[in-house]
Amino acid sequence: MLVTSSKFIDLMTEKGFGPHIGVPCSFLKPLINYIIDRKDVEYIVANNEGEAVAIASGAYLAGKRPVVMLQNSGLGNIINPLTSLNYVFKIPLLLIVTWRGESGLKDEPQHELMGQITFDLLKVVRVKCDEFPGSDDEIEEKITDAINYMSQTSLPYAFIMHKDTVGRYELQTHRDVPFVRGKILDGEDFESPMLERREAIAIVADPSLRSKASLVQEKGLIISTTGKISRELFYHEDKANQFYVVGSMGCASSIALGVALYQPEKKVIVLDGDGSALMRMEAMVSIGHYHPSNLLHVILDNESHESTGGQATLSPTVQFTEIAAACGYQSSVKVFSAEKLADTIQRCLVEKGPHLIHVKVKRGSDASLGRPTVTPVQVKERFMKLIDLPLRQAQGKLSSEVKGSFC
């Protein structure tokens, strides 16, 4: 007997899961198509599975219980965030992974090896697996097991789906999304950078800028990329509204997208590096597409991988403002000076985004720069406490049903 998409999604929704984020697989076709057609269930299209995990992790920080759907071929794309984001910060996600190349199944050659190692690979990266429900009768118990495991460990959990598990469902809805090119605003065009990066960070992190621009008492949230940017932010001043993405290079902007989409009343600023932004440029595509008006993407471009010894990146031949405009950001601008940076942040926090500020900064950093002394789990807990209380209270129903809190 096959699983019915409606039954599975109804139960998942009842238990508080969503949004569903992923990259399709033919085994997932009926489930994803059904979700797309359901107006009350959200499906976020990701460009790759690593991005899906990062967006989902941001959504989790914002109080959601996301699900990531992927083919096992995409496991390679999620190893980095699973090991250096979800494991480190203890961010649980439910993964639905299809099992291409299952032994005994006639499948394509490209799935053979991944089919053999799917369970082992997930086990190695500390993701507990169970088979996806085989019939409607099994759904509730399996979902409850997953919730209980994630509540107890705060680690991701995977359902592995065999071929032909879910009954047929044909997609009815086709979305037409008009493309609107973003505006590239007049910036500055000096020959060389003027600001030290830590000076630029101090301007972005200045709470007086945010309080002038935001509603009274509203806190802006800052998500900073791996390496010395997070370290400089921490040593500028450590605060609960700052989330230091210590690993998962390039994922900070996707995490910020997940937070921004589900905390629309908060201003979300991502402090990115040029190396990080270039490592995962798919993030700019999704930010432009999903268009959170509360997101400000700041790329601190020192044309180098400063954190690993100052090696050059390829950013000198990239126009980030052009890319942002072409991806549909509301505005983008290139700045060099402290005054222009402060003015631009002020404007971006008032006007609807998403916005990109490309800040050219000097190379170099303090040789004695330390590392955050607060642990990733502490960072996560205080960040969620700061932004998330009303949502989590609203979701108390699930916790009591399954005996335990989700985080």
Ligand X SMILES: Cc1ncc(C[n+]2csc(CCOP(=O)(O)OP(=O)(O)O)c2C)c(N)n1
Find the binder of ligand X among 115, 133, 220, 275 (CB under 6 A).
275
**CA–CA separation, 273 and 102 (whole Å):** 40
Min dist. Cβ of residue 234 to ligand X (A): 13
Burial 333-353 (b: 16+ CB within 10 A, else e): bbbbeeebbbebbeebbeeeb
Place of tokens 């649980």: 92
**Residue 228 interacts with ligand X (CB under 6 A): yes or no:** yes
Min dist. Cβ of residue 54 to ligand X (A): 12
**Residue 249 interacts with ligand X (CB under 6 A): yes or no:** yes
Min dist. Cβ of residue 272 to ligand X (A): 7
Site for ligand X (CB under 6 A): how many residues? 18
Long-range contacts, 390-399 (Cβ 8 Å, 24+) = 391/62, 391/63, 391/262, 392/63, 395/16, 395/63, 395/65, 397/16, 398/15, 398/16, 398/65, 398/147, 399/151
Find the binder of ligand X among 20, 266, 291, 305 (CB under 6 A).
305
Within 291-337, residue ranges assigned H as helices are 320-327
Give the residue at shortest CB distance from ligand X.
Answer: 273
The four Cα atoms 358, 364, 367, 369 give a dihedral, to 10 degrees, of 0
Find the binder of ligand X among 274, 331, 356, 383 (CB under 6 A).
274
| Candidate ranges 26-34, 70-78, 96-104, 221-229; the one touching ligand X (CB under 6 A) | 221-229
Min dist. Cβ of residue 253 to ligand X (A): 11
Binding residues among 333-392 for ligand X as defined by CB under 6 A:
none
Min dist. Cβ of residue 316 to ligand X (A): 12
Q: In sequence order, what DSSP letters do the residues of 64-99 get, joined into one string?
A: -B-EEEEEGGGHHHHHHHIIIIIHHHT---EEEEE-
Find the binder of ligand X among 313, 330, 331, 332 (CB under 6 A).
313
Nearer Cβ to ligand X (305/360): 305
Token readout for 168 is: 């047929």
Nearer Cβ to ligand X (214/226): 226
**Residue 224 interacts with ligand X (CB under 6 A): yes or no:** no
**C-alpha to C-alpha distances, 211 to 60, 160, 217, 372, nearest whole angstrom:** 26, 47, 7, 25
**Residue 165 interacts with ligand X (CB under 6 A): yes or no:** no
Place of tokens 């920080």: 61
Residues forming a β-bridge with 269 = 222, 296
The contact pattern for ligand X, residues 71-110, with x = CB under 6 A and - = no contact, is ---------x------------------------------
**398, 404 contact by CB (below 8 A):** no
| Candidate ranges 40-48, 307-315, 336-344, 347-355; the one touching ligand X (CB under 6 A) | 307-315
Place of tokens 């086709």: 174
Token readout for 24 is: 């399709």
**Residue 50 interacts with ligand X (CB under 6 A): yes or no:** no
Find the binder of ligand X among 114, 146, 229, 324 (CB under 6 A).
229
Token readout for 161 is: 């789906």
**Residue 225 interacts with ligand X (CB under 6 A): yes or no:** yes
Interacting residues with ligand X (CB under 6 A): 80, 225-229, 249, 273-276, 302, 304-308, 313
